[in-house]
């Protein structure tokens, strides 16, 4: 077959009438661009979210659109001071540079103030009177600061805690400059003020609402631990500075000494409270370690002995007359020792995520110990997740204790055995010879596989109660090819048409996927990936409910996140991948180590976090993300450093050489 080719000149001549004029084409494109840009700009100006409006002020649209959108957002001058601070604190780079800049300029300001600082008042009584006069002059401001420190952390927003700690930098500078003007800027009063401020901040950071919202990778109670550590560093400076002025007697010589029983009771009350706190941790309970590794009672006994000895020493010393010209008076260390004995155990407990992390060895020990609770079905469900993780990691756990409990449950035919068997089969606790002895297995089988297999497959209600039947039938080779096909259809119907679409969807999706593997009918992941990703996004929560941390997955929509639902979600992401619009840092924040978690959630969180970090293609948080999300903890560390620097750079109080008569007790 011959083909006659058309010449290029003939083609150009034929297409020339259809050629578009270049000028008309450019004009038309410009008209369409202007018609599309104006509505986009109008939509941008009508944004309802004030947070987006404030953020857009600092990153204007012309900068990121190459000038295609002009204007937009809000003028910086029209924002209030609070909105500007919020905008600066919300942007990662700006907030970190703000923190570094505040630290640098604070250190420079402290250095300048201390160079000009001359402590004119040397007498202890005059110094005390000047300090009282300062507090009277700043009474209103002090009450305002105390109220802000107490109220702002209760809101729980990360940016508020960050701004509160940044504001503490300014308060520190104000204290230094104002004390210098009053002539009392010596090391004693500066150390006392810094210690009191750090102690107040540490108490407010312990509130229940603190750091529930926002992304964090470490326990925010470490902020309290850092501030308490700062008080322990400043305490010896306060004691030595007070000793130079003649000790507490120089400040209290005109006051009536308290009775020795008052002194004794004031130190025994904290011991009793600490004993009440210590009692529940006399032995390991689920996820919590033995207090100080089993030596809590020895620690408590030593602490009591030190405190009682210090009190007796103080009582004996009150009946003596002694010169107080020593550089370090022994009597001044007694309150310090008592404070350390009370504060140090609390500080160690707040930071137990550092001293007692959930290592693979401890997770293995927890799995092998199998602490049985009052409800075996709940115990097995919580225990199953770390147990499967140890098996996946090749740790070869000894499951004899758990198997012994299961054998007793099967032998006694407990009412909730159907909830326990699913977890037991998934871990491999059920022996083949026990399958025939399982209760109601025939009835369950007939319910799943009716005699008339031509019947239309229906949804399986209460799938978690029937899950163990799939394992039992598959392991005993009682399923034909037709039975497997029919069960596959029923499982897919259960997945595609759930009874309640706002509850237990993540658990159902994971169970269906696992059971299809059990009956050798693996699910088509590509077909159901979009549907599963939709459920993951729907049940993910970045809100706090009932003192719960944000970032986990909900078992029921609109209710607080659940550790079990979060574990199911991460396992689904291992199978179906991670949804595009899901920020995994929120999930990491929910699973972060905490100084205390109820029941066995500590171990579930640890293994789930490990699974999350090892998802294929998932990037780990960068150093910049760590610094940004932990900016409050970083600010607390820098605040402690500035307090110590301000204290050590202050002039020492003069040494008092006179002998004071210590008043006798009543």
DSSP 365-387: HHHHH----S-HHHHHHHHHHHH
What pTM was estimated for this model as a whole?
Answer: 0.73
pLDDT recorded at residue 655: 63
Instruction: Give the model confidence (pLDDT) of 606-616 as tens digits.
Output: 999 999 999 98
Instruction: Give the model confidence (pLDDT) of 443-482 as tens digits.
Output: 888 888 876 555 678 888 888 888 898 999 888 888 888 8
Tokens of 250: 């120089």
- With a cut of 50, say whether residue 310 has pLDDT above it: yes
- With a cut of 80, say whether residue 144 has pLDDT above it: no
pLDDT recorded at residue 91: 56
CB burial of residue 77 (10 Å; 0-12, 13-18, 19+): exposed
- With a cut of 70, say whether residue 43 has pLDDT above it: no
Residues 41 and 73 sit within 8 Å (Cβ to Cβ):
no
pLDDT grade, residue 289 (50/70/90)? very low
Instruction: Give the model confidence (pLDDT) of 216-225 as tens digits.
Output: 899 888 988 9
Average pLDDT of the chain, as a whole number = 75
Instruction: Give the model confidence (pLDDT) of 316-326 as tens digits.
Output: 655 554 444 44
- With a cut of 70, say whether residue 626 has pLDDT above it: yes
pLDDT recorded at residue 293: 45
Token pair 């409800």: residue: 375
Minimal CA–CA distance to 567: which of 384, 442, 412? 384
Work out the number of other CB atoms within 10 angstroms of the CB of residue 583: 14
Instruction: Give the model confidence (pLDDT) of 562-574 as tens digits.
Output: 899 999 999 999 9
pLDDT grade, residue 210 (50/70/90)? low
DSSP 573-589: HHHH---TT--HHHHHH
pLDDT recorded at residue 585: 93
Angle between the N-to-C axes of helices 124-137 and 139-155, in degrees from 0 to 180, rounded to the nearest 10: 70
pLDDT grade, residue 52 (50/70/90)? very low
């Amino acid at each position: 077959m011959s083909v006659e080719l058309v010449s290029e000149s003939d083609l150009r001549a034929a297409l020339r009438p259809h050629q578009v004029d270049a000028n008309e084409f450019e004009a038309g494109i410009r008209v369409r661009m202007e018609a599309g840009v104006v509505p986009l700009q109008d939509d941008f100006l009508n944004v309802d979210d004030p947070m987006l409006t404030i953020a857009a002020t600092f990153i204007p649209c012309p900068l990121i659109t190459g000038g295609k959108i002009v204007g937009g957002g809000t003028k910086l001058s029209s924002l209030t001071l609070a909105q500007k601070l919020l905008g600066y604190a919300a942007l990662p780079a700006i907030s970190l540079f703000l923190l570094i800049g505040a630290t640098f300029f604070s250190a420079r300001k402290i250095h300048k103030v201390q160079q000009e600082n001359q402590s004119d008042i040397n007498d202890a009584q005059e110094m005390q009177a000047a300090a009282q006069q300062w507090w009277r002059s700043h009474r209103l401001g002090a009450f305002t600061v105390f109220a802000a420190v107490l109220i702002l952390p209760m809101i729980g927003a990360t940016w508020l805690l960050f701004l509160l700690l940044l504001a503490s930098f300014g308060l520190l500078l104000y204290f230094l400059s104002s004390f210098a003007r009053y002539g009392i800027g010596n090391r004693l009063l500066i150390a006392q003020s810094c210690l009191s401020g750090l102690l107040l901040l540490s108490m407010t950071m312990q509130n229940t609402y603190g750091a529930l919202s926002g992304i964090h990778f470490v326990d925010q109670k470490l902020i309290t631990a850092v501030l308490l550590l700062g008080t322990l560093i400043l305490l010896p400076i306060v004691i030595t500075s007070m000793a130079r002025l003649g000790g507490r007697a120089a400040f209290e010589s005109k006051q009536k000494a308290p009775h020795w029983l008052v002194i004794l009771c004031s130190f025994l009350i904290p011991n009793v409270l600490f004993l009440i706190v210590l009692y529940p941790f006399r032995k390991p309970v689920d996820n919590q370690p033995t207090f100080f590794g089993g030596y809590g009672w020895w620690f408590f006994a030593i602490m009591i002995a030190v405190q009682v000895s210090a009190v007796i020493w103080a009582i004996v010393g009150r009946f003596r007359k002694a010169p107080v010209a020593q550089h370090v008076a022994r009597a001044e260390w007694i309150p310090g020792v008592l404070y350390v004995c009370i504060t140090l155990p609390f500080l160690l407990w707040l930071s137990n995520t550092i001293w007692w992390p959930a290592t693979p060895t401890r997770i293995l020990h927890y799995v092998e110990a199998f602490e049985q609770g009052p409800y075996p079905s709940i115990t097995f469900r919580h225990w199953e997740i770390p147990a499967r993780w140890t098996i996946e990691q090749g740790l070869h756990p000894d499951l004899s204790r758990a198997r012994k409990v299961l054998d007793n449950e099967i032998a006694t035919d407990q009412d909730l055995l159907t909830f326990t068997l699913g977890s037991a089969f998934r871990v491999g606790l059920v022996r083949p010879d026990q399958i025939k002895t399982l209760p109601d297995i025939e009835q369950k089988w007939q319910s799943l596989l009716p005699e008339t297999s031509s019947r239309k497959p229906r949804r399986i209600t209460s799938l978690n109660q029937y899950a163990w039947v799939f394992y039992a039938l598959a392991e005993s080779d009682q399923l034909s090819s037709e039975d497997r096909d029919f069960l596959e259809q029923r499982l897919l119907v259960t997945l595609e048409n759930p009874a309640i679409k706002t509850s237990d969807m993540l658990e159902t999706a994971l169970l269906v996927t696992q059971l299809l593997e059990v009956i050798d009918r693996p699910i088509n992941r590509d077909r159901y990936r979009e549907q599963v990703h939709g459920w993951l996004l729907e049940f993910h929560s970045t809100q706090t409910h009932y003192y719960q941390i944000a970032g986990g997955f909900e078992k029921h929509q609109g209710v607080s996140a659940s550790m079990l639902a979060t574990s199911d979600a991460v396992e689904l992401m291992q199978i179906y991948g991670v949804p595009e619009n899901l920020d995994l840092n929120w999930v990491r924040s929910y699973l972060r180590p905490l100084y205390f978690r109820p029941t066995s959630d500590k171990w579930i969180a640890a293994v789930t976090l490990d699974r999350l970090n090892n998802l294929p293609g998932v990037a780990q948080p960068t150093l910049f993300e760590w610094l940004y999300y932990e900016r409050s903890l970083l600010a607390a560390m820098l605040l402690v450093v500035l307090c110590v620097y301000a204290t050590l750079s202050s002039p020492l109080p003069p040494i008092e050489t006179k002998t004071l008569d210590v008043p006798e007790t009543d």
